[in-house]
Amino acid sequence: AQSVTQPDIHITVSEGASLELRCNYSYGATPYLFWYVQSPGQGLQLLLKYFSGDTLVQGIKGFEAEFKRSQSSFNLRKPSVHWSDAAEYFCAVVPPFGNEKLTFGTGTRLTIIP
Amino acid sequence: DSGVTQTPKHLITATGQRVTLRCSPRSGDLSVYWYQQSLDQGLQFLIQYYNGEERAKGNILERFSAQQFPDLHSELNLSSLELGDSALYFCASSAGRLPDGYTFGSGTRLTVV
């Protein structure tokens, strides 16, 4: 079945440490890929997106993501996290064919410790 | 401010009642999407409208309906409300048919008591 998976429900990292959030997808062809962030009580903010081309995508707030076709992955990274990065992160996909609805993963909650 | 406006921000209502959630898309965006976010179901796609017409349906209950008006704002109607309908309802908009960065509103938190 077509799906998007975020294997980590909750991740805790120290402030200043590096971060990698995992996202895997299962589609016949490469979907359009997105990462969103949701701060407590807030809406969803787009961090970055991948449609085609360079597999390393730069986003806002110092985030980047790397598309790896061989692994069907689109992992989100940040070299050094800040306390303000504590939030819920969602990977999302739009299939390359059919309607344009965004399908979300289950999310990864990021906790930052001092 | 994302440019997508949702009203009201909070809504508390009783079981069996009917409510209407409103969404104004970002200027120039033709597509509107409705999502429901709950603890047990996560973010679920409900329905999409494009330029006034329904384009896609997701896990939307028959008690729920939506429409997009000529000025492109959209309304989500929830009727015969149940406790399980308590959730955060998001509206998102995008520029057109091709996927782009969907812009989300800040949501309407519905509590059914």
pLDDT confidence bin for B97, thresholds 50/70/90:
low
Q: Which pair of structure tokens corresponds to residue B28?
A: 């120039």
> Quick one: which of B100, B95, B85, B99 has its CA closest to B21?
B85
Identity of the residue numbered B12:
I
Hey, is the C-beta of A103 within 8 angstroms of any chain B C-beta?
Answer: yes
Judged against a pLDDT cut of 70, whether residue B106 lies above it is answered with: yes
Given this model, what pLDDT does residue A47 score? 95
pLDDT confidence bin for B83, thresholds 50/70/90:
very high
- pLDDT, tens only, A12-55: 999 999 999 999 999 878 889 999 999 987 889 999 999 888 99
Given this model, what pLDDT does residue A29 score? 83
* Torsion angles phi and psi, residue B91, rounded to 5: -115, 145
User: Which positions 35-94 of B are in contact with A (Cβ < 8 Å)?
Assistant: 42-43, 45, 48, 55-56, 58, 90, 92, 94
Given this model, what pLDDT does residue A60 score? 95
* Residues of chain A neighbouring B101 (CB-CB closer than 8 A): 34, 46, 49
> Quick one: which of B86, B94, B81, B88 has its CA closest to B108?
B88
pLDDT confidence bin for A105, thresholds 50/70/90:
very high
Q: Is the dihedral of CA A81, A17, A110, A58 positive or negative?
A: positive
pLDDT confidence bin for B63, thresholds 50/70/90:
very high
Q: Is the dihedral of CA B79, B84, B90, B95 positive or negative?
A: negative
Q: Say whether A46 and B102 touch across the interface (CB within 8 A).
A: yes
Mean pLDDT of B74-102: 89
Given this model, what pLDDT does residue A11 score? 97
Q: Say whether B2 and A100 touch across the interface (CB within 8 A).
A: no
Of B58, B97, B101, the CB nearest to A100: B97
- pLDDT, tens only, A45-101: 999 999 888 999 999 999 999 999 999 999 999 999 999 999 999 999 988 776 678
Identity of the residue numbered A23:
C
Judged against a pLDDT cut of 70, whether residue B99 lies above it is answered with: no
Hey, is the C-beta of B2 within 8 angstroms of any chain A C-beta?
Answer: yes
Given this model, what pLDDT does residue A55 score? 93
